[in-house]
Amino acid sequence: MDVRYINPFIEAMVTVLPTFGITDISRGIIEIKEDMYVNMDITSVLGLIGSARGNISYSFSEDTGLTIASAMMGETVKEMDEMAWSAISELSNQLTGRGCKILSENQLDTDFTTPSVIIGKDVQLLVSPIQTISIDIETSVGRIQVNIGLEV
Amino acid sequence: MEMDYCRPFLDSLKKMIVEMANIKAKEKKSFSPEDKVLTSKGVTSIINFSGKVKGRLVLDLEQELAAAVAENITGKVFDSAKDNKLLSAIAEFNNIVAGDGITSLNNKYSLGLNLIPPVVFSGKGAVICIDKMPSASAECSTQYGTVRINVAFERREAYLWM
């Protein structure tokens, strides 16, 4: 997969997460997978279309999801209720929007769809049947796994 | 919510489940507005599409029905609803249903819709939360269980004045 489509989304994490007080952002393990399986508690998935076509997902443990929701809402969020998943949805919207803006600045116009947030323990999720880059982003609130599967 | 945009997907589902899996589906519940949160029946596939409008199709199958559809498509028997090949078969089934549905819509309304590859998951009781887009659900029954079809559309602001 073309690295020009990966770096903007990593850059977006570094730019957007600190606006919610999430710090110590570093890149962890990067893997290439033949298809994109995720088995974490919370996953937000968005479709990408334009110069590239596919899906991007952001996955978290429940603890990390709640901490992020609390940071975004400015109050302690104790359960994954509508307020919490709306916050996760909005974060993934902003991360992907920022990534797509950087792509557009590089003449790679790409649009994105509304997020779908999937919540559940013991969920086997196939995010894309095509080759996928999986990137662990370590942060002050825990690990965020980003999976990008694009046909370019 | 444009209910006229929903019907082609239900028609495609009923047609394709017979053609691809040799299973008859009978409409059990007509389209009605859906909540922001859907609780999965067992195996759920989400496919987004985009053109002059953006939208999303969700097919949500009970596990036994998902297994029957996947087995009839692939010719293999599956022990678990979490089998990767079962999930891939359901994703492909959703891709074909959505493809047929958007072709009808494009022909009728010139929406220029294109599909984005599907997402599929297995996990009974898992919830799908979708903000920002109103949606409607209908339900069909088969000999193996029920399938819910959920369709959402979001009109792009840039096109509202056109």
- DSSP letter string over chain B? --GGGTHHHHHHHHHHHHHHH----EEEEEEEE--SEEE-SEEEEEEEEESSEEEEEEEEEEHHHHHHHHHHHHS---S-TT-HHHHHHHHHHHHHHHHHHHHHHHHHH----EE---EEEE-TT-EEE--SS-EEEEEEEETTEEEEEEEEEEE-HHHHT-
Residues of chain B with C-beta less than 8 angstroms from the C-beta of A128: 117, 119
Estimate the crossing angle of helix A7-16 against helix A82-105, to 10 degrees. 130
pLDDT at B18: 97
Residue-wise pLDDT tens digits, A47-97: 999 999 999 999 999 999 999 999 999 899 999 999 999 999 999 999 999
> Cα-Cα-Cα-Cα dihedral of A96, A98, A101, A105, to 10°?
-130
pLDDT at B100: 97
pLDDT at A99: 97
Q: Check CB contact of A122 with chain B, cutoff 8 Å.
A: yes
Percent of chain A with pLDDT over 90: 76
pLDDT at B157: 52
Q: Check CB contact of A82 with chain B, cutoff 8 Å.
A: yes
Closest CA to B138 of B6, B49, B48: B6
Average pLDDT, chain A: 91
pLDDT at B132: 77
> B116: which 2 tokens?
């984005």
For A86, the closest of B131, B133, B152 (CB atoms) is B131
Q: Block means of pLDDT (10 residues each) for chain B, length 162 residues?
A: 86 97 96 91 95 94 96 93 91 97 95 94 87 90 97 66 36
pLDDT at B97: 98
Q: What predicted TM-score, i.e. pTM, was given to this entire model?
A: 0.91
For A124, the closest of B82, B116, B128 (CB atoms) is B82
DSSP letter string, A53-87: EEEEEEEE-HHHHHHHHHHHHTS---S--HHHHHH
Distance CA A131, CA A4 (A): 16
Residues of chain B with C-beta less than 8 angstroms from the C-beta of A82: 36-37, 129
pLDDT at A132: 85
Residues of chain B with C-beta less than 8 angstroms from the C-beta of A118: 121, 126-129
Q: Cβ of B80: how many Cβ atoms within 10 Å?
A: 11
The helix/strand/coil state of A119 is strand
